[in-house]
Structures are given as structure tokens and as C-alpha cells.
Structure 1
Amino acid sequence: MRNTMKATTIESKFPLLSVEHDCIVSKDADVTVAFRVTLPELFTVTSPEYEAIHSAWAKAVKVLPEYSVAHKQDWFVRETYQPKTEDREMSFLSRSYERHFNERPYLNHECFLYLTKTTKERMRMQSNFSSLCRGNIIPKEVNKDSTVRFLEAVGQFERIINDSGFISLARLTTDEIVGTPENAGLIEKYFSLSLDNATSLEDMELGADSLRIGAKHVCLHTLSDVEKLPGKVGTGMRYEKLSTDRSDCLLSFAAPVGLLLACDHVYNQYLFLEDSAENLRKFEKSARNMQSLSRYSRGNAINKEWIDLYLNEAHSHGLTSIRAHFNVMAWSEDEQELKHIRNEVGSQLALMECKPRHNTVDAATLYWAAMPGNSGDFPSEESFYTFIEQALCFFTEETNYRSSPSPFGIKMCDRVSGKPIHLDISDLPMKKGIITNRNKFVLGPSGSGKSFFMNHLVRQYYEQGTHVVLVDTGNSYQGLCEMIHRKTKGEDGVYFTYTEESPISFNPFFTDDYVFDVEKKDSIKTLLLTLWKSEDDKVSKTESGELGSAVSAYIRRIQENQDITPCFNTFYEYMRDDYRHELEEREIKVGRDDFNIDNMLTTLRQYYRGGRFDFLLNSDKNIDLLSKRFIVFEIDAIKENRELFPVVTIIIMEAFINKMRRLKGVRKQLIVEEAWKAIASANMAEYLRYMYKTVRKYFGEAIVVTQEVDDIISSPVVKESIINNSDCKILLDQRKYMNKFDQIQALLGLTEKEKSQILSINMSNAPSRRYKEVWIGLGGVQSAVYATEVSVQEYLAYTTEESEKMEVMQLAGKLDGDIELAIKQLAESKKQ
């Protein structure tokens, strides 16, 4: 008898009895095991990988016993980004970044899987037998034997999926299902259509033509009729917006009703496993009936042909006959918006070549059946017959970009919604064995946002305690360095550059603590040999040994007598006045052919007091680069100078090697911008080769940034060393090189999947946001495209546009050099 009461309590209709041993038990004795599903990230799966995922699902479903239901439920809920600005130590730029993304909307995705063991009778129930329509529910007893077998099958199911390597299942505990005093459980969340941990149960209106949960009006579209489905389905579909004529960007077949549907919705996917043999016998009988009735109606003859096709397919390929159902449940608190959402869901289903059906008649029953643990209550007339393999094509197989659990990393953005994500491209991949070193190779043509991305990366690394040494051409890091210099009151942010008024100047003999290890002594000796000998001259063992002895003797002298100013001038005087006499007084004479000290002193005279380069090695600033955490060497003005450039490159490398060896347990970064200009020197190439091979042992990373791959190829010494020893490759927009990308692909050892991702960069950027995309690949195992989006303040600090940079610097000049205040004022004026 139909219940005529206008209202009733959820408690009286509630179909679930209890949750025991992490299993949901219904009053009809259905047992359900719930899992949280972790899917691969969007745009990171290739066609063979989609096939492998599909195959894993198929194998897993086949181990479930008859009269089981596999119900996959994907939640997509609109949320807004909440900035993390509570840390008082947070820098001005970090705080600006967080504020920039305040309230940024995005679609949060969570996926659950419910495996239910029900009975033959329950599987065939129609909507009028739903627990919603019954006055009361008399609990039935669980069959112990069938439940034990079901739980064993669930264990096998979990193992098959987790072993696939693409998807992982985590069993939900009792607390996660029913909730705790602090956090809402899964069932509470379902009854309020919210993923919030602090949800409250709300009134429901389960009417004939409307469905309302609290203030949320729900619309439901179903795929429950074979005639409304496409003629052909597949595991994946080509996403045209990010595909080119040379590459395919793929999504799962059901992606249009997943992350591509930008509204609050739940996508339910059901597989009902019945007795396949009995189903086929039923179809055989139906086919015979259709045959006998074919003379009365052509429709019967056609139906008979369709049934024969189904049976032939089942028998010839050994397929399992099942029932399936899919529905999209979308909601909004605004009824006007709901009309727009209804059209949007319909159009997304049409993209899958399905004919959408807006279901009002069974909306309440379908909502009730989608409750975790209640899929046994599903109305059988809303399902259609198919096979496991075809039904699984309607599963969504991707999720949002995920943040790394690592405490260290950089902030990038999800390329779809622009939500900030925390990304670790150094430590966690090393721990997981994805990469074997932290070195990075960055490639991007002019204007692709390369320097911008590097500024963003370097700033975040510096703020997390990294010692950064930069070799730059083009003043890309001037703004950032000036900010750090001002913020640390001159203690950090050292900017070395060459101008006629203030030429570049070092003091290789100065250290704060008068400690000179073997590497420091060797680098001083190498520097002196470079100044003395031309590139063509051979250095003999005697010359190298004698010069090394002289450096050691001089260092002992300045350590014993700290009144002597350590610099090249006093070293030159020591060689001229003391060491030369010592050589003459030795018992075993050193001939001029073996070590010509006069020739050396004559050649090095130009670096001594009064010489034309006397400024170079006699800096009186006494900066010990060991303790400085942010150092920029701007070498653009001297890269063509044959005398100065080799010296500067050796001093740069010496500074970094000194950090590398002496700073134990401290992260270090050497970044060489526009590599080819620096690599032109043989000394620099050898240093880089040494660096790339050894820096990983000292918690360091070397990064080479270049515009052209040809620049790297042109240096055979470095080509193999850099590319082979850079497990992290970072590429920016390569579309201008699309016709010669095969060469880049071969050189960098990129897979077809990585090629497709790289060629999709900046193909479909949101016009409302200002950002550039960047591809990051780790060890050929993990790769994705991310967005580099920053606040106005960060943009002004990083910009390489001459006019914008001048505007910042001129305003800073008026504000007593306070670049941070200048950026604040400019950012404010731009917003207004």
C-alpha cells in the first residue's frame, strides 16, 4: 500500500543497519565494502595506459561473485582556494602569491568505490520495491558463507587494482564511513551533498518531479537505455583543444562528465553482476520468440538480429553478460543556475555521443540507491544489458593535479582551474627512486617565460634555505637580488656585474675563517695557471706542482701573520720577493725550462697593483661567498673578453665548489643561464662536467638554462654530461620548433607521451588569467604540464621587460632604494 503521509523521517526509511569490521550492512542483509580510489592525474595518461587501466578493472570485476554490485562514485564539488598566510615568517612575495589566489574557484574531485554482495531477488527489484516505498523494513540475516567468499573476492579485487600501478584503492574504515565527533562520515556527506568535514543533515524533498537536499536543487541525467548510447565506445578519447596534427592529448571516454563538467555533480557508475549463463539462456529464449513473431512485425525480426549479435559476441569471445547504469547528479542552490547546469550536463553527455535523458520519475529512487552501501536497492528497470569490457569504458579514469606530500617544493598551478599546487621536483622523486640526481635542464625559446619560471623557482628555493649561485646574461635576476639585498640589510643578495665605473672585482684569497681546504687551494692554483698560460700552452707537472707549493706556502704565511692582507697583490709580492729567492737557494735547482718564475711574474704583472686589470683579484670588500646564500654573476658585459671571462668563470666555479664541499647538509644550487655563452670556455665546460657528476653527492643541484638545444649539442664535452646527468627536464613552449621537434625528442630521450604533453603547452590557456605553461619531466617516469601564474608583485620583481624593470628601479631610487616598497606601490596603482 502506498504511503500517503506528506512527510516522514529518514530514520524510518533508512536502509542501513550498521557498520561492522569496516563493512556496511544493510537491513536487507547486503554487505558493502567501501574504498577511496586514487586515479592518475589529468592529461598524464596515454592510450596504452588507458588500455592497461581498463584491463585491470576488467580482471578485478571478474573475480567478484554473482549477484554483486560494483558502484563507482565520483564526486566533483566546487570549492575556493583558502590562502595560507598565517606564517609570520612568510616573505612579502610568498604572501602576495597566496593573496593572489584567494577565493580562486576549482573543482575538487574525490572517488569512492562500493562493492556490494546482494541476492538474486534484490537484483531484480524495481523502483516500486525500493526501501523508500516501504512502510517499514524488516532486517534479514546475513549468509555467513557467501559473505566470507565475497570478502575474499574483495581482497583479490583490491590486490589486482593496486598491482596495476595506475590506480590505488584504500579501504575506508568505520570512522570514515560513519564519522567521528570531529569529522563527518561518508554517509553524512552524501546526505548533505558536500565533501566538507563539518556537515549537518538537512531536510529532503523527494518529489515526483523535483529533488531537493536542504537548499540544493538536484537534477539527474541517466544513461539507462542501450538505444541512447553511442554505437562505439573506447577506453580513451582525443581532447582536441590540446592536440596537434603531430600529437594526441587523451582523456578517458567519460571525461566530459568528469573534470570537464564545471559544476557540482556526482557521477555514478554501476555494474550489476548476475548469473551470466542464465542471462544468455534468457536471451536465447527471447530470440526464438522474436523469430516466431517476426512475420507479424519487422521490428521483431530486427530485435532478433540484435539479440543474435549480442549472443554471438558473448559466446565467441567468452564475455560476461552484466547489467550497467550510469547517471550524473548535478545540483545548485540557485534554480536559475540549475537550468544552465541541466543544459551543460546534457551537452557534455552529447560529447560522448549519448542521447541525454533528464530523469524526473526515478530521481528520488536513484538518489536513494546511490547512498553508500545501498546499491542493492537499485531499480532494475533503470539498467541495460551489456558486457563488462564495454561498461567499463564509461568509468572516469583521471583526477585533479595533486600536491606533493613533501614539505619541500615549489608552488605551481593546475592547468585547468589555476588552483595552486605544491610540487616537489627534487627530494620526493629522489626518495621514490624516480630520479637519481637533482640536476635540471631547462629549455625554452625567447619569450616563452623561461626567465620568469626560473625566478619563481629560485625565489622559492632560496626561501627554503638553499644556497643559490647564478650565472646570468641579461640581468634577469637583478630585481630579485636587489630585494634580497635590501631585505637582509646587505648581508645577502650579492650582485656581481661589470661596468666601466664599477668593474667586477673578487678576492680569491679571502675567507672569513682563514680555512683553506684542498679544493680551495687547487682552485686558486687553477686560476693562476689560467692567467699565466694561454689555452694552447701545455702545463707541465713541475709548473703545476711548484705553483701549488707556492700557494700553500703563501696561505701558511697569511694564517701565521694575519696582519698581511690576503689578496693577489700580497701573493704577487711573496712570489717576487721570497719564493724566487727560495728557488735560487735550493740544493736541487729548478731550471727555467721546468718552471720559469720570471715569465710567470711578467705575465701576471697586469693583475698586480698599477696593472690594467689590478681591480680584478684585489677586491677590498672582503666578501666571503661561502656564507652568502644568493649570489648573481652577471657576465653579459665580459663574455667576449678573452682575459677577464676565463678568470670570472673559474672564480664562479670555485665559489660554488667551496660551498659544495664545506656546507654539509645544506641544499645548494648552481644555475647557468644561457649555457652556451659560458660553456664556450674549455675550463668552464670541464667544471660543468665535473659538477654535474658530483654535485648530487653533496645535496646540490646544477641547472643549465638555454634557448637552443643546438647550444648544448655544440659542446661535445657538456652535451653528454648535462643531458645524461639531468634527471629533471623542464621545457617551455616549443611550438615554434614543432617541425624539428623530432631532433629535440631524440636528443632529450623523450617518449611519445612526453612529446604530446610538451606540444600541448599554451594551446588552450584561459583568457581571463595571465600565465604561461611549463612541462616538467622526472626521469622519464613522471611528467605533467603546469601553469606558472604569479601575483602582480611577483611579476614586477621577476619581469625582464626593460620598460617595466626601469619603472620599478626608478621608483625604488626615489624611495631610498626600497625595491619592495616600490613594487607594493606599483602593484597597487596597476590594480586601481
Structure 2
Amino acid sequence: MRNISKTSTLESKFPLLAVEDHCIISKEADITTCFRVHLPEIFTVAGPEYDAMHSAWHKAVKTLPDFTVIHKQDWYIKENYQPYIAKHDLSFLAKSYQQHFNERPFLNHYCYVFITKTSKERMRMQSNFSSLCKGVLVPKELRDKEAISRFMESVSQFERIVNDSGYVKLERLSEDDIIGTDDKQGLLEQYFTLSRQHGTPLQDIALGAEEMRIGNNRLCLHTVSDTDDLPGTVSTDTRYEKLSTDRSDCRLSFAAPVGLLLNCNHIYNQYLFLDNSDENLKKFEKSARNMHSLARYSRSNQINKEWIERYLNEAHSYGLSSIRAHFNVMAWSDNPNELKQLKNDTGSALALMECKPRHNTTDVATLYWAGIPGNAGDFPAEESFYTFIEPALCFFTEETNYQDSLSPFGIKMADRLTGRPIHLDISDLPMKKGIITNRNKFILGPSGSGKSFFTNHMVRQYYEQGAHVLLVDTGNSYQGLCELIKGKTKGEDGVYFTYTEDNPIAFNPFYTDDGVFDIEKRESIKTLILTLWKRDDEPPSRAEEVALSNAVSGYIDRIKKDNQNPSFNGFYEYVRGGYRTILEEKQVREKDFDIANFLNVLEPYYKGGEYDYLLNSEKQLDLLTKRFIVFEIDAIKDHKILFPIVTIIIMEVFINKMRRLKGIRKLILIEEAWKAIAKEGMAEYIKYLFKTVRKFFGEAIVVTQEVDDIIHSPIVRESIINNSDCKILLDQRKYMNKFDDIQAMLGLTDKEKGQVLSINMNNDSSRFYKEVWIGLGGTHSAVYATEVSPEEYLTYTTEETEKLEVMALAKELDGNVELSIKRIAAYKSENR
């Protein structure tokens, strides 16, 4: 049977003539400039910022001439995450991470703005004058060169005003972006295939009365094209209840329900038609008079007259510009059974905006055709409604999905909305942009909030990118990761120190492998001895500080001169002998420096004393070249003497790395050990570390869970928090009632408070993850998901039964921790 249906070629109906100088020229002599729009990330914008964006759009739109169409087109496309498994240098855990997210579906967002200069006649055309209905399109000539020049100048002003807002960035599309190349699809090709995948061929477009189809994709169109469809009030932003509490707000743009929250393939078109406002108002004045004359015949005429007068009063009272607007959501699917669900989901999204969902089947073809980039002049005028610029702009979507950092260095986190892996740089790029002035980090999270998982995940990625990592742990949180690294490097790395009675941690604070005692080394020794000598509530006098400094300098000079092996025993004997004689010659009074008391207090650390092993190690630790070191000091965390001393000596190990490793990234992470080091005698030492480490390409990280200790510790607040430009918080709902104190202590804004209190409030039950808030410099902040692969979970876990299972199997496999983790993960995956 012969096909007798009317068919046309796309070429014969194609409404565009050329793309020149980054502009699209239509066959009807319309000229369109095209921009890619970069919006802020979702859940990172507060109410005042939405107002600022709205104001910027408003100022920009007012610069454009009459008979201009602003067409904002937001694409939301379902895509699958493509892993980087082919990279040859991926570690076992990095590869397992990529495989875990392989083909993870997510909704990607692309945003464009098209500004079209057309004519008065074209702005008033009905749907039956669409280029779709014409037999042959005869190109018209662009005659008014001066008007085009003025239009291009106004577009440049539009671009500058929006970009100056600091929230939205416009980027001009090139000709290749619009037309495409051999290697990538252009925007026009993407629109006609409803696909952004390179190589998708053009397919038949079927335009019917009840259905429109592009290839196998059937379209479902909802329009907001009548004042009866509009909500009673509009605003720049609304409260997102799923992530809000009675103490905090999460804000989204008014149109967010038809944006990223509508989880299907769809395009959201937003049109503003800039007619001549004075002509519009004159027309309404005439219409109001006619309605008044006919009011006696119909009550509806009287009501319409009142509405028109209210519109005119608003326009004249506030100097508002009369414009027309239209909004539509075009969703599609290649599965006919999904089409009904798409219709329901889109209708529900519009209902959330308090719009009346109107499923349009009549004008699908003409509205799709008008949505072609550069063809807004073909829009059917009867599908628009009169309004003002400000309320119309409230229908613009103002947020996008999470974006990767443009930096080679970073860590992998996950988008909290879709679970897509995000490459996030919280160290180098923010420093380069001036967002932060140091790389230090302060991490706060109660027990069970996923703190150790996040820190394991972060330091593992730092290590794999070449950093030297030194961890001070109080709970075996990093044992699994350390053992894995040790096995992978065959013992060359992954050094794990733990304190036991049989094998206590021992050091020699006076040892340097190059014999150089610079000012940092000397200050470290003095701080250590001062900690041994004085209690927290007993600050040294000025005379005592000078005497101690002279004693350290004198002993260092002695060992250099006599070429002695330095040790604490040697220092003690020097003070008892030679230095005592020097003090007597100087006639230093006992009340200024009581040397007998000094020696008595230090005697337990001298040979024969209770702690003589601690500072007189004969085995010098060569940790300079070790890139992953863990000091596990849980056994002595409550020991008033050993804990602070061991902690200081560990800090000395890091400072040695800091001084000696030029141009190499280094990181020290201190868990609950800050309680011991945050003492009066050590405040300056900690301040020095936190202020100086940035100069040596390093970062200091402190992790804690005790909120009260931080709030009531001025030393922690001054030396650690104030010098940590990156603050990382985990679930704080346990501290909801005291969060005001935490907010004040950390200097969080109300927006940041809302983000922190939204953590883990709306997690996807089909995924296993915990959320974490990361704030940079008080200006950039967002909540991310820490989601890891089963292999990473087994490496990071702090559950004792799971750790024992891994270690027990590793023992059977000749100590191969990696193989043990692989087998357990595979077994659990098969039996899930």
C-alpha cells in the first residue's frame, strides 16, 4: 500500500539561513546571539543571592530594545557516569571506586540563552503563520544595519551586567558550538535529535494532532501560557521542605520543581517577549474603556475591566514595562509506557509551583519548532500572556547540578542529589582563586557520623597523588588503609606505630640526620622540655624562658664542638654540670631559675628514671622518605605525661618533613590528640604550625567530635579554627539545640547553617552513604556525599568484627590484605 501522508524534508522547512560572527540568522531576517549559561550549584544559594540574580537578570533585560525575544532553554538529560578505569596508574582502591560508579545514571543540566531581534509584525504572528505552515521559505534581507549594530551593543551590555553579578556567567557560543564539527554535535543537531551523544543520526520527525515523535522519542508538552494557569503569587525562591528544619531553611529557585527536581529527559523553555510597552499600555487603556462600556451587559466584562485597570495601575505607579511571557516543559521518552508517567510527573512539578498543569497537545509542533535555537521569532503569539519583567523572571531556573573542579588535584566526592562522582579540589584551586589563604582543615563530627570514613577517603587520595601523609590516631581508624599500603609497597611505606608496654614509642628529640639545628628545631626542643617541666596552670617566667633557651643553645653548641651523639641524657648531664657552673658565674638567683627544681622534675626522663626510654632512643627513625605514617596512641591518650610528650615529638617528625621536603605536598592529620597539645605551654607551638605549614606546601588537619571541648577552649579556637580556612562538618543534628554556639564559634552564615543542618535529611535509601558539609573561606560551601565502593568500605571500616575478618583472611593469604579485601567484597556482592 502506498504511503499517501504528507511529508516534507527538513531542508525545505528549515527556518535558519546562516551562522555568522557567533550569531544565528533566520530566513525571516531575525538575528540571534547565543550564550551558554553557568549557574550556581543546587543547594548552595540563599534567599538574598536569588534576589541578587533576579535583580541582575532584570537590569540586563531592560537594556534590550523593543521587539526582542529572550529565550532561556534549560536541557535536563539523563546520562550515565563513564569511569576512568583505563588509566594505567589507578590504584586498587581507585579502580574499585570507578567500577562502583560505572554506568551510574544521573540528570545532567545544560543551560543556554538566545536573544533574538525580530520585528513588530513577527512578534504578533499566530501559529498558522509559523514557518512550518509555509510551502517555501524565501530568505529576507537584513536591511537596517544601524538597528543591528544597536542591538549588538545592547546584547554586550546584557552580557556584562549578568556576568558582573558574580553568580551567573554567560559565555558566547562559537559557530562550532552551534553548527558542530566532525568530532562533536552542534546545538542544532542536538535539538533535532533530542540527544547530546555524538554520532546520533537525524531521524524522522512526525508531527501529528495528538502526538509528536522524533525518531522513537514521543514528546509530552506542558505549557504555562495563560494568566489562568499562573499561581496567585510568585517569588525568586521557595523553601525546600525536604532539607529544611524548624531552625534552618534550604532555598531553591521558584522554578526548581521543573528543573533538576524533575528526574526525566526534558527541556524547560522560558520566553520573554519585549514589545513596545507604551503601545501595550495604550491598547489596554482602550480595552478597559470598551469593557466599561459593555459592563452593563456582562459581569465578566466588569471583572475584566477591573483586572486591566489593576495591571495599568501597577505599570504606571511603579514604572513597570509591559511584556509577554511563555513557559513550557517538553519531556520525552522512547518507551510509550513511560509517557503517562512523564505526563504525571511534569504535571505534579508544575502543581508544586502552584501553576495549573496544562497538557498541550494542539500546539506541540509549533512550540517545538519555535524552540529551535534562533527561531524564537516563529513563536505563536496566542500562546503568550501579558505580565511584567520582574514576575516573569521568577520562572527562570537559577541552579545547576554539581560541577567538577577544573584542577588536576582533588578528591572524589558524590553529588548529593544524583550520586554522580564529583572531582573536588578543596586545597589548590581555592588557594589560586584567593578563596582561602591556607590549606588547613578543621573537621567536626560526632561519633557515627562517618567522620573516619571521610578522613580515610581523603588521605588515601592525597597519598595516591604524591602527598606525604602523617596521621595521629586514637582509635585504629587508619589501620586497614595503612596495612594495605604496606602490603602494596612491600614494606617500603605504610608505617604503623602503636604504643605498647613491651615496645613503647621512643624518640631522640636532639637528633638531626644532617646535624643542622635551625630555629624551628630549637623551638621544638624548648617546647618539649617546657611541657615536661611546667604544669598547664604554671606559665614560665621570663627569666625561666631565657634560662631554658640558653641551656638548649649551650648543649647544642657543646655537641657540635665535641662531636658528641646528642640525647636527652646528655642534655640533663650538661645542665647538671656545665650549665650550673655558668649560672653560678652569672649569679642567677634561685627565685629567677631554680635549677635544682628543674633537674628534679626532669629526672624521670633521665637514665634510670621511670620514662628513661622515652627521649633516649638509640634507634633513629628515618621517616623523612616514608609517605604514609600512622601513630596510633590510643593506649596513652589519657596519660598525663606520655600523651603530650609523644604528640609533640610526632609534630617534630612532621616539621622535619615540612622543612626538608621542598615542593612536595605534605599533610598532618591529628584526631583527638589536640586535647593534649592544646595546653597553655603549647599554644604558641600550635599557632606556629598552623600559620607556617602553608608556606611549605602543607596542610594541618584537626579532627574532633567533642563540641563542648571546642566551645570552651580558647586555644583551639584561636590557634586552630581561626587558621583553618576549610571547615568540614558532618551530621550535627545531635547538637541541634546548641548549634548556635557552634555557628558563632566557626563563624558560619545562616546559609551555611542551613546547609549543615540539612545533612543526611533526604538520603537515597537505595545508596549507602553519609553526607558531609565543606566550607571554604566563608564564601563557598556545599554538602557532598561520601559514597565508597565495597572494597573501600572494608579498608576504611572501624567495625571490629569486619576488621578482624579482613585481617584473619589476610593472615591465611600470607599477609595479602588487598586479596583478602577483594575476596570478602566479592563474596558479599554475590550473597547480597
1:92 corresponds to which residue? 92
- SS of residue in 2 equivalent to 1:408: coil
2:559 corresponds to which residue? 554
Are the structure 2 counterparts of residues 371 and 496 from structure 1 closer, same or farther at C-alpha, using a change threshold of 3 Å?
Answer: same
1:706 corresponds to which residue? 704
Alpha-carbon contact 2:474-2:673 (below 8 Å) kept: no
In terms of mean alpha carbon deviation, does 17-26 or 822-831 score higher? 822-831
Are the structure 2 counterparts of residues 574 and 696 from structure 1 closer, same or farther at C-alpha, using a change threshold of 3 Å?
Answer: closer
Deviations, residues 431-483 of structure 1 (Å, cap 9, x unaligned): 11111111111111111111211111111112112222222211111111222
- SS of residue in 2 equivalent to 1:132: helix
Distance in structure 2 (CA, Å) of the matches to 1:257 and 1:448: 33
2:733 corresponds to which residue? 735
Q: How many residues align?
A: 821
Q: Are residues 1:187 and 2:185 paired? A: no
1:330 corresponds to which residue? 331
Alpha-carbon contact 1:409-1:425 (below 8 Å) kept: yes
- SS of residue in 2 equivalent to 1:425: coil
2:664 corresponds to which residue? 666
Alpha-carbon contact 1:472-1:634 (below 8 Å) kept: yes
Query: Structure 2 stretches of 5 or more lacking a match?
Result: none
In terms of mean alpha carbon deviation, does 414-423 or 799-808 score higher? 799-808
Q: Which amino acid aligns with 2:248?
A: S
Deviations, residues 750-781 of structure 1 (Å, cap 9, x unaligned): 11111111111111111101111111111111
- SS of residue in 1 equivalent to 2:805: helix
2:675 corresponds to which residue? 677
Shift of 1:743: 1.2
Distance in structure 2 (CA, Å) of the matches to 1:737 and 1:260: 30
Alpha-carbon contact 2:674-2:702 (below 8 Å) kept: no
Shift of 1:344: 0.8
Distance in structure 2 (CA, Å) of the matches to 1:255 and 1:373: 25
1:59 corresponds to which residue? 59
> What does 1:8-27 align with in structure 2 at a 5 Å threshold?
8-27=8-27
Alpha-carbon contact 1:525-1:551 (below 8 Å) kept: no
Distance in structure 2 (CA, Å) of the matches to 1:586 and 1:528: 18
Q: Are residues 1:545 and 2:550 paired? A: yes
Shift of 1:211: 1.1
Distance in structure 2 (CA, Å) of the matches to 1:434 and 1:629: 28
1:245 corresponds to which residue? 246
2:783 corresponds to which residue? 785
Are the structure 2 counterparts of residues 714 and 294 from structure 1 closer, same or farther at C-alpha, using a change threshold of 3 Å?
Answer: closer
Distance in structure 2 (CA, Å) of the matches to 1:772 and 1:45: 22
Distance in structure 1 (CA, Å) of the matches to 2:277 and 2:571: 96
In terms of mean alpha carbon deviation, does 710-719 or 476-485 score higher? 710-719
Q: Which amino acid aligns with 1:797?
A: T
Alpha-carbon contact 2:530-2:681 (below 8 Å) kept: no
Shift of 1:542: 3.7
Are the structure 2 counterparts of residues 591 and 807 from structure 1 closer, same or farther at C-alpha, using a change threshold of 3 Å?
Answer: same
Q: Which amino acid aligns with 2:106?
A: Y
Alpha-carbon contact 1:812-1:821 (below 8 Å) kept: yes
1:561 corresponds to which residue? none
Q: Which amino acid aligns with 2:774?
A: I
Alpha-carbon contact 2:231-2:353 (below 8 Å) kept: yes
Distance in structure 2 (CA, Å) of the matches to 1:493 and 1:60: 57
- SS of residue in 2 equivalent to 1:108: strand
Deviations, residues 163-183 of structure 1 (Å, cap 9, x unaligned): 111101001111111111211
Query: Structure 1 stretches of 5 or more lacking a match?
Result: 559-563
In terms of mean alpha carbon deviation, does 511-520 or 327-336 score higher? 511-520
Distance in structure 2 (CA, Å) of the matches to 1:413 and 1:139: 50
> What does 1:257-276 align with in structure 2 at a 5 Å threshold?
257-276=258-277
Are the structure 2 counterparts of residues 231 and 583 from structure 1 closer, same or farther at C-alpha, using a change threshold of 3 Å?
Answer: closer
Are the structure 2 counterparts of residues 128 and 509 from structure 1 closer, same or farther at C-alpha, using a change threshold of 3 Å?
Answer: same
- 2:799 maps to which of 798, 801, 807: 801
Q: Which amino acid aligns with 2:213?
A: R
Distance in structure 2 (CA, Å) of the matches to 1:718 and 1:454: 20
> What does 1:237-386 align with in structure 2 at a 5 Å threshold?
237-386=238-387
> What does 1:469-480 align with in structure 2 at a 5 Å threshold?
469-480=470-481
2:43 corresponds to which residue? 43
- 2:636 maps to which of 615, 635, 638: 638
- 2:626 maps to which of 625, 628, 638: 628
Q: Which amino acid aligns with 1:70?
A: I
Are the structure 2 counterparts of residues 261 and 237 from structure 1 closer, same or farther at C-alpha, using a change threshold of 3 Å?
Answer: same
Alpha-carbon contact 1:85-1:98 (below 8 Å) kept: yes
CA RMSD of aligned residues (A): 2.4
Are the structure 2 counterparts of residues 512 and 215 from structure 1 closer, same or farther at C-alpha, using a change threshold of 3 Å?
Answer: farther
1:697 corresponds to which residue? 695
Alpha-carbon contact 1:675-1:712 (below 8 Å) kept: no
Distance in structure 1 (CA, Å) of the matches to 2:356 and 2:484: 59
Distance in structure 2 (CA, Å) of the matches to 1:41 and 1:600: 60
- 1:767 maps to which of 765, 770, 783: 765
> What does 1:519-534 align with in structure 2 at a 5 Å threshold?
519-528=520-529, 530-531=531-532
- SS of residue in 2 equivalent to 1:112: strand
Are the structure 2 counterparts of residues 73 and 546 from structure 1 closer, same or farther at C-alpha, using a change threshold of 3 Å?
Answer: same
Distance in structure 1 (CA, Å) of the matches to 2:135 and 2:5: 10
Distance in structure 2 (CA, Å) of the matches to 1:557 and 1:199: 81
- SS of residue in 1 equivalent to 2:131: coil
Distance in structure 2 (CA, Å) of the matches to 1:615 and 1:267: 72
- 2:569 maps to which of 567, 572, 587: 572
Are the structure 2 counterparts of residues 680 and 751 from structure 1 closer, same or farther at C-alpha, using a change threshold of 3 Å?
Answer: closer
Distance in structure 2 (CA, Å) of the matches to 1:350 and 1:581: 88
Distance in structure 1 (CA, Å) of the matches to 2:760 and 2:510: 49
- SS of residue in 2 equivalent to 1:358: coil
Shift of 1:68: 0.6
Q: Are residues 1:648 and 2:643 paired? A: no
Are the structure 2 counterparts of residues 231 and 543 from structure 1 closer, same or farther at C-alpha, using a change threshold of 3 Å?
Answer: closer
Alpha-carbon contact 2:678-2:715 (below 8 Å) kept: no
Q: Which amino acid aligns with 2:769?
A: Y
- SS of residue in 2 equivalent to 1:343: helix
Are the structure 2 counterparts of residues 757 and 528 from structure 1 closer, same or farther at C-alpha, using a change threshold of 3 Å?
Answer: closer
Alpha-carbon contact 1:27-1:137 (below 8 Å) kept: yes
- SS of residue in 1 equivalent to 2:614: coil
1:418 corresponds to which residue? 419
1:451 corresponds to which residue? 452
> What does 1:84-233 align with in structure 2 at a 5 Å threshold?
84-142=84-142, 143-233=144-234
Q: Which amino acid aligns with 2:554?
A: S
2:34 corresponds to which residue? 34
Distance in structure 1 (CA, Å) of the matches to 2:576 and 2:317: 95
Alpha-carbon contact 1:583-1:589 (below 8 Å) kept: no
Distance in structure 1 (CA, Å) of the matches to 2:198 and 2:617: 61
Q: Which amino acid aligns with 1:815?
A: L
Are the structure 2 counterparts of residues 6 and 620 from structure 1 closer, same or farther at C-alpha, using a change threshold of 3 Å?
Answer: farther
Q: Which amino acid aligns with 2:556?
A: V
Alpha-carbon contact 1:81-1:103 (below 8 Å) kept: yes
Are the structure 2 counterparts of residues 700 and 223 from structure 1 closer, same or farther at C-alpha, using a change threshold of 3 Å?
Answer: same
- SS of residue in 1 equivalent to 2:288: helix
Shift of 1:603: 6.1
Distance in structure 2 (CA, Å) of the matches to 1:507 and 1:93: 36
Alpha-carbon contact 2:683-2:719 (below 8 Å) kept: no
Q: Which amino acid aligns with 1:641?
A: H
Shift of 1:200: 2.5
- SS of residue in 2 equivalent to 1:479: helix
Distance in structure 2 (CA, Å) of the matches to 1:702 and 1:677: 15
- SS of residue in 1 equivalent to 2:133: coil
Deviations, residues 396-447 of structure 1 (Å, cap 9, x unaligned): 1110011110111111111100101011111111111111111111111111
Shift of 1:614: 3.9
In terms of mean alpha carbon deviation, does 504-513 or 685-694 score higher? 504-513
Provide TM-score, normalisation by structure 1. Answer: 0.94
Are the structure 2 counterparts of residues 807 and 296 from structure 1 closer, same or farther at C-alpha, using a change threshold of 3 Å?
Answer: same
Distance in structure 1 (CA, Å) of the matches to 2:213 and 2:653: 68
Alpha-carbon contact 2:644-2:676 (below 8 Å) kept: no
Shift of 1:34: 0.3
Provide TM-score, normalisation by structure 2. Answer: 0.94
Q: Which amino acid aligns with 2:811?
A: G
Distance in structure 1 (CA, Å) of the matches to 2:514 and 2:70: 69
Alpha-carbon contact 1:41-1:402 (below 8 Å) kept: yes
- SS of residue in 1 equivalent to 2:132: coil
